[in-house]
Structures are given as structure tokens and as C-alpha cells.
Chain A
């Protein structure tokens, strides 16, 4: 039973399109994160939020933006997708200093 949900699971879009990757959690966690990961490779932090109306950029430079209007919702938007954005995007939430709960990810392919 998943407590953090990501949609869509798979997405193939054309270059230049605007897309939003959805992430919602039902655990009431304040902290939420977006990571980018190529298959079998390490995770790269692209955005994080420690609460409503709080967002920060991560270590990996990204052309995406995020918003945190509600505790449970942390969407990621790409204004103009490019082939270099092809990757897996993982959303996670965290309670206090405990470990992360990850979603199943969105596999994005930009053609």
C-alpha cells in the first residue's frame, strides 16, 4: 500500500512540450524531495521543500520548477522539455529525521 503517489508512471512527449509530474503523499510529512535518476545510477537532488510555500533548488542544476501550496502535494513542472530531460524522476517525503518514503517514480522520455 503506497503512501506516496506519482503520476504518470510513464510519459513520452515531444521536445518543447510543457509537462507536470504529480506527487502526493497521505502521511502529513512536511519534507518532500524530487530526485532525478538514470537507470541503475545514483540519485541527484533537484528540488526540495520543508513545508508549505517553502521550496529550494537541490544540488543538480535543473530547468524544472516546483510548488508547495498544500502539504500533501509537490508537483514538478518542466516548461519546455528536451531530450536531455529523459530520465526517471523520483518523489520522496520524510518525517523528521527518519528515512525517506519514495514514490514509484515517473519514467520520462522526451523525443
Chain B
């Protein structure tokens, strides 16, 4: 059974701090996506990474895909209250199946 683990499960930080959340698996993925979900809404796609070692930046967010395509990280610089939400990673397998991680719940306190 392929599993995606995310850490930490919960994170509460002050506005302006930096943070990193992680997504790990023992399986290799053909691509990996990160989503942010606000309470009461559906997840919104932030980025897709495809190549091992790939780094993508989206304003204050930096996404990295591990060299072996088994793990990924999301780094947020100078967090803002608007960054609050549930961050989900999802891996696509070679069998065209998408597996979601359990998520990291981030709270940024003003």
C-alpha cells in the first residue's frame, strides 16, 4: 500500500516567521502536487512538480521535489495570516492513481 506522510500535523506560528512542511513516502511518484485548503472550501492546487530535484517558487512559497521523487517540501517565507489553511500533498503514481497525504494544518497568528 502506497502512503504519503506529512509533517508536522499541526503548526502554529507568528506572522513573519518562516516554516517548512514535509511530505514523505517510500514510493516513487511520477509527479507531486501541493494544495491549500481553507475551512469550508475545496483544496486549491498550488503547484505540480515533476522532475527529481526540481524547485519551484510561487511568491513566498518554495516547493522542492526530492531527487528520488519520494519526498517533497514546502517552505514559506515570512508567513502571513492569509497563509492559514490545510496544506495537502498528493502523489501521482505510474498507474495514474493519485494518493493524498493527511495534511499539515497551519495557523499563522497576527
Query: Which residues does A use to contact B, with CB under 8 Å?
Result: 39-43, 90, 92, 94, 97-105, 107
Q: Taking chain B's interface residues, is the majority helix, strand, or loop, or is none over half, making it mixed?
A: strand
Chain B hits for A99, CB < 8 A: 33, 35, 45, 48, 90
- A interface, over-half SS: loop
Closest to B45 in A: A99
| CB atoms of A102 and B39 under 8 A apart | no
Query: Which of B30, B44, B48, B88 contacts A43, CB < 8 Å?
Result: B88
User: Is the Cβ of A43 less than 8 Å from the Cβ of B100?
Assistant: yes
Contacting pair A104 B92 (CB below 8 A): no
Given the known interface contacts A99-B45, A99-B90, the answer about A107 and B40 at a Cβ–Cβ threshold of 8 Å is yes
Given A40-B105, A42-B101, A97-B30: A104 and B88 within 8 A (CB)? no
A32 to B2, CA, bound (A): 21
The chain A residue with its CB closest to the CB of B32 is A99
Contacts A40-B105, A43-B100 given; does A97 touch B31 at CB 8 Å? yes
Contact of A105 among B41, B44, B98, B102 (CB under 8 A): B41
Tell me which residues across on chain B come within 8 A of A41, comparing CB atoms.
Answer: 102-103
Write out the residue numbers on chain A whose beta carbons fall within 8 Å of the beta carbon of B101.
42
Residues of B within 8 A of A107 (CB): 40
